[in-house]
Amino acid sequence: MIRVVLTLVLFLAMTLIVSATPGKVNLLTMRKLALHNNLTCILVFGDSSVDPGNNNHLPTTFKGNFEPYGKNFFNGRPTGRFCNGRLPTDFIAEAIGYTKIIPGFLDPHLKKENLLHGVSFASAASGYDDLTANLTNVLPVSKQLAYLKHYKLALRRIVGQAKAEEIINNAIIVMSMGTNDFIQNYYLEPIRSKEFSVQQYTDYLIKCMTRDIKELYAIGGRRLALVGIPPLGCMPLVKTLMGSTTCVKSYNDAVLSFNNKAKAQLAILEKMGVKSVYVDAYGIIQNAIKNPAKYGFTVTAKGCCGSGEIEFGDTCRGMKTCEDPTKYVFWDAVHPTEKMYSIIAENAINSVARKIFV
């Protein structure tokens, strides 16, 4: 535990998560919180924002296990992460001191010690709406939760029933999805858009999200970090398809509607016993786009891969990339760069420290 705390303190100091800025958590407080709250591991659910490669093992075309993905990952190798490097959950894992990456649960090389440190059940192209995942033959949240039950059984075989329960009870559960529900489902396919208005669909997604969180609680999850949907209207792909040079307001309005409802729902679910924090990915990315110099960015309107305006996933395969991804908010026309993800992770860790570890 001492090693974990020291590693956490060092990492937070290096990334400026802990500072003298009002609202930030100082080093002494963070040390006490880490000791007192017995953080065990990270369990992850969602889409490509947190999928470290589970889709590599599924019969789907939504994969990122080829170059130039992984260009800035360890040894410059593609892993299935839709990024040039690590994901937010990888940075969070490093912060708590257990490991530098969170592996996918479907990884055939997964070891027993990996299970103790945490795993990701996320699947790129998934969403709160099971139809979203079914459209692309990836893991819906219902299947991700089924794998959590398998994970729990595996833990029991390793450490016994009581310890397995403790690990899940004290884990930080990260949920990050919703992008595909709008971009690949509602605004592209005719099914949900004929069935629901935008506001009705956001209500439907909140209903799905609530169901999933209640299922997590039933399995043993007690600490939740819910990541809001990012500003979809500012994604290079969306702007290109909509013929806009500025962020598309209708997309962003839909996202804000969902995010506001999600925050309100979390407050209700806390009465059930789920300690939760909302990670404002929308606000964080919007701030980086509006104030790029503050974070060292110089390019906010396009991605680093190919033209940066439309390529992502398979259309990014083998494409040339920009010289310095750290200057870009977006890696491809949809997904943020490793640097942008590290900024989101910093905010997530600080929020968890202030709102869950109390």
Predicted pLDDT of residue 2: 36
Out of 47, 90, 332, 342, the active site residue is 332
Predicted pLDDT of residue 354: 80
Predicted pLDDT of residue 34: 52
Q: Who's near 153: CB < 8 A, 6+ residues apart?
A: none
Closest to 207 measured CA to CA, from 218, 193, 196: 196
- For the chain, the structural domain boundaries read 24-232+248-282+338-356
Residues of the chain with pLDDT under 50: 1-23, 26-28, 30-31
Rounded Cα distance between 229 and 258, Å, is: 8
Predicted pLDDT of residue 121: 98
Out of 47, 117, 335, 342, the active site residue is 335
Say which residue the tokens 């969170």 belong to.
102
Alpha-carbon Rg for the chain in angstroms: 19
Residue 298 CB neighbour total at 10 angstroms: 11
Predicted pLDDT of residue 7: 37
**Is 307 an annotated catalytic residue?**
no
**Is 332 an annotated catalytic residue?**
yes
**Is 257 an annotated catalytic residue?**
no
CA separation, residue 130 to residues 5, 202, 333, 343 (Å):
39, 14, 24, 29
Is-contact 171 41, C-beta < 8 A?
yes
Is-contact 339 331, C-beta < 8 A?
no
Predicted pLDDT of residue 74: 96
The DSSP result for 100-154, as a single string, is: S-PPBTT-TT--HHHHHHEEE---TT--SSHHHHHHHT---HHHHHHHHHHHHHH
Q: What is this structure's pTM?
A: 0.91
Rounded Cα distance between 278 and 275, Å, is: 11
- The architecture in CATH of the region 24-232+248-282+338-356 reads 3-Layer(aba) Sandwich (3.40)
Out of 48, 49, 120, 276, the active site residue is 48
State the average pLDDT for the chain: 90
Predicted pLDDT of residue 356: 75
Q: Is 22 left (phi over 0), alpha (psi -120 to 50) or beta?
A: beta
